[in-house]
Structure 1
Amino acid sequence: MATFLTESDYRHLIKGVNLQHLIDEDPLVLDMAETAAIAKVKNYIHQKFDVDAIFSATGTDRDPDIMEHCINIVLYRLHKKAPIMPEDILYDYNNTLAYLEKVAEGKIGLMLPRALEEDMETPRTRFKLTANTKRSH
């Protein structure tokens, strides 16, 4: 059961009655969509960030950007079964995927707990230092 998001987190993007209509008033449908959304976000960020710490946070300790992107994915998944996909839902979903790809590539830095090397307390990094060959002139 996904517990990272709460039903009140959706209020700024969708009315409660519309959300209930999308899930056919079955909380399990919402739970399954949230679980899938969280898994998708984890797949993008797990190399650099401590996903267990990020997704075990509650209340105001949760990262607002991660919450928003999870909600965008949830709403997209819920609207997939609707006869028409609203343009704003598709737009937000595509922006979320582009954002997560940039995070995974290291082009966007986030203020999140870093993943640690196993058996170490140092952040996991993937830097390679190189130098140009010496010139003789």
Structure 2
Amino acid sequence: MFIDKEDYKVVIGDAAFKVISQADPDTVANAEFEAVEEMSGYLRPVYDTEAIFSATGNARNRLVVMYTADIALYHLSAALPQKMGAEIRKERYDRAIKWLEGVQAGRIVPDLPLIEDTDGNGAAVGTSWHSASKLNHDW
């Protein structure tokens, strides 16, 4: 999997992680898969998500690791009774989504592998091509 237990220590303490994960590795793995897919939906148009999420160790982008953990924890917290700790999880989730939207819009350009076209060229980040609407003047 893209993230491991050690990666969660940046965003949540050990005791809180045990509570939020409900000591079920399958639940944690499922939330991690969901988080990766959610992030991929934002990154896929420009970035090589296969390369991003198959990276291991220090080859991973640390910000992507942190936001993946935040999104996974947000999904895990939804199953907790009385939504324990939901405020901080929602705040961190919103921050992750805001970052992903910035990346998607081209305002934030992370150091991630780009999708290559058939000629082996990387995609242009933040570039869109369009023209103005046709003018029709009827006098």
TM-score interval, smaller chain = 0.7 to 0.9
Q: Alpha carbon RMSD of aligned pairs, Å?
A: 1.7
Q: Give TM-score scaled by structure 1 length.
A: 0.85
Q: Is the 8 A contact 2:42 2:101 kept in 1?
A: yes
Are positions 1:120 and 2:119 aligned together?
A: yes
Q: Secondary structure of the residue that 1:122 maps to in structure 2?
A: coil
Which stretch shows the higher mean deviation, 84-93 or 64-73?
84-93
Quick one: which amino acid aligns to residue 86 of structure 2?
P
Residue 130 (structure 1) shift: 6.2
Residue 98 (structure 1) shift: 1.1
CA distance in 1, matches of 2:77, 2:8: 14
Number of equivalenced pairs: 128
Report the equivalent of 1:134.
Answer: none
**1:41-62 C-alpha deviation (Å, 9 max, x unpaired):** 0000111111111111100110
Which stretch shows the higher mean deviation, 84-93 or 30-39?
84-93
Which stretch shows the higher mean deviation, 72-81 or 122-131?
122-131
Are positions 1:58 and 2:56 aligned together?
A: yes
Q: Give TM-score scaled by structure 2 length.
A: 0.84
* Percent of matched pairs sharing the same residue: 26
Out of 42, 45, 52, the position equivalent to 1:44 is: 42
Residue 17 (structure 1) shift: 3.0
Quick one: which amino acid aligns to residue 129 of structure 2?
K
Which stretch shows the higher mean deviation, 8-17 or 107-116?
8-17
Quick one: which amino acid aligns to residue 47 of structure 1?
P
Q: Where do residues 1-137 of structure 1 align in structure 2 (5 Å cutoff)?
A: 3-82=1-80, 83-84=82-83, 85-117=85-117, 119-125=118-124, 126-128=127-129
Quick one: which amino acid aligns to residue 10 of structure 1?
Y
Quick one: which amino acid aligns to residue 102 of structure 2?
K
CA distance in 1, matches of 2:6, 2:102: 28
CA distance in 1, matches of 2:34, 2:88: 20
